[in-house]
Amino acid sequence: MYYEGIGLLPFFFALIFSGLISGFIAGLLGVGGGIIIVPVLYHVLSSLGFSHEIIMHVSVATSLAIIIPTGWRSYVAHKKNNAVDFSIIKKWIGPTLIGSAFGATTAGLISGFYLTLFFATVALLVCIHLLMQNDNLRLGNKLPSGFFSYNIPLLVGAFSSMLGIGGGTFNVSIMSLYGVPIHKAVGTSAGLGFFLSIPGTLFFILTGLFVANLPPGSLGYVNLLGLILIAPLAALSAPFGAKYAHSLPKKTLTRLFAIFLFFTSIRMYLEIF
């Protein structure tokens, strides 16, 4: 039961801490904070004794719901700094929304084992990418055009909603590889993350409406307690991250972030196998 294990007080403190940290990172890296929120919620719910069949679904869905307010705050902050490319948002928003709805529906219907395996594998791949990335690597001087170019935001939307993230993990890297300045890539990704999180959240609510043994205060797979505690703090700290994104080097933070993802991935593998 939810009151067993570590108890509710540490649960509240864990949610508060994750809210502050994830919001700051959302603004700093354009990752929506979900890549931090999901593993934190996963381990907290696991420690509280909830079934591993539902804790990843709840973590991913709640993370997407939290990204709605945090993504908006981050997006507005970057827009004030003239760091949003509206031509990219206009072109990518449609495929992003469709991909997000498809990904959330798929994630809501598959087992907890496969959803956790998917998250752990992607986290490990992102970790490797962050440690080995070459800032000078380019695939082109502008983003691809034509019909097939819409596959990029479509896939990013689908994978991101399945992971409970705002898409920045993918979008910033892709935009940078095609010559979009890093600050523009981060700000534009923040805007896309806000729009992506809305259909993802709605479809996780729908697919989880009749699931049993969810944490108290859940609406479908979205845990409202987590949303209420984390979202305001994350929204409060997001503009600070966005401010520092324009003044601080991110190399050390990127490496620490990669190490965090590595240990998160390994722990998830150990728990499901």
Over residues 236-265, mean pLDDT? 75
Assess if residue 2 is contained within a domain: no
Question: Counting every residue, how long is the chain?
Answer: 273
Asked, for residue 107, whether it belongs to a domain, the answer is yes
Total domains in the fold of the chain: 1
CA-based nearest residue to 161, from 58, 269, 60: 60
Q: Which residue has the tokens 């935009």?
A: 175
User: Token pair 């082109």 is at which residue?
Assistant: 140
Residue at 1 is within a domain = no
Average pLDDT over residues 142-153: 81
pLDDT at 30 over 70: no
- 77 or 96, greater pLDDT: 96
Q: Averaged over 49-54, what is the pLDDT?
A: 87
| CA–CA dist 9, 194 (Å, integer) | 30
Query: Residues of 9-34 as b/e, b for ≥16 C-beta within 10 angstroms?
Result: eebeebbeebbebbbbbbbbbbbbbb
Confidence label for 29 from pLDDT (cuts 50, 70 and 90): low
Phi and psi of 248, rounded to 5°? Answer: -115, 145
* Among the ranges given (6-10, 201-205, 213-217), the one the predictor scored with the smallest mean pLDDT: 6-10
Residue-level pLDDT at 108 = 92
Is the residue at 144 inside a domain? yes
Element (H, E) at 219: strand 218-219
Q: Is the pLDDT of residue 154 over 90?
A: yes
**What's the per-residue H, E or C state across 69-105?**
HHHHHHHHHHHHCCCCCHHHHHHHHHHHHHHHHHHHH
Sole residue written with tokens 């534009």: 188
**pLDDT tens-place string over residues 180-192:** 887 888 889 889 9
Per residue in 58-70, pLDDT tens? 999 999 998 888 7
CA dist 94 and 163 (Å) reads 19
* Mean pLDDT, all residues of the chain: 83
pLDDT for residue 14 is more than 80? no
Name the amino acid, one letter, at 17. Answer: F
Q: Which domain holds residue 89?
A: 8-272
Identify the pLDDT of residue 1: 47
The arithmetic mean of pLDDT across residues 204-233, rounded, is 90
Classify 218 as helix, strand or coil: strand
Query: Over 50: is that where the pLDDT of 5 sits?
Result: no
**Per-residue confidence (pLDDT) for residue 204, from 0 to 100:** 96
Rounded Cα distance between 246 and 203, Å, is 35
The stretches of the chain forming alpha helices (DSSP H) are 8-29, 34-47, 55-80, 86-109, 112-132, 151-163, 168-177, 182-207, 224-244, 251-272
Is residue 18 in some structural domain? yes
